[in-house]
Amino acid sequence: MVHDANGRDVISSLGRDADGTSLQAITSRLEAVRAQYIARLQSQADDNQSREIRAVIAAYDAALGALPQVWAKARSGDAGVSPEGA
């Protein structure tokens, strides 16, 4: 699904995702990786690594928070890419 470093394929896919299936798949993948970082944080003793892991988790939280908005904008054609991928 993600082929373009700029995310254009993801946006195009979300634009065509009328029932939210792609949104849910991406969300599930992000949540799964986020959970791995949380598990790693819980077993981490080093303060520097813990800070780094917390920053990564915060980035996943931000992505998970923004994704529904990106989906909605892509569906409305307001994300800079038409739902048809043009």
Does 37 fall in a domain?
yes
- Distance from C-alpha of 1 to C-alpha of 22, rounded to nearest angstrom: 9
Give the contacts of 83 (CB within 8 A, at least 6 positions apart): 12, 15, 16, 74, 75, 77
Q: Write out the residue range of the structural domain in which residue 36 sits.
A: 8-76
Under the banding of pLDDT at 50, 70 and 90, the label for residue 12 is confident
Does 28 fall in a domain?
yes
- Distance from C-alpha of 57 to C-alpha of 38, rounded to nearest angstrom: 7
Does 1 fall in a domain?
no
| 24-78 pLDDT, tens digit each | 988 999 999 999 999 999 997 788 899 999 999 999 999 999 999 999 998 887 6
Total domain count for the chain?
1
Q: Which of 19, 12, 10 is nearest to 81 (CA)?
A: 12
Does 83 fall in a domain?
no
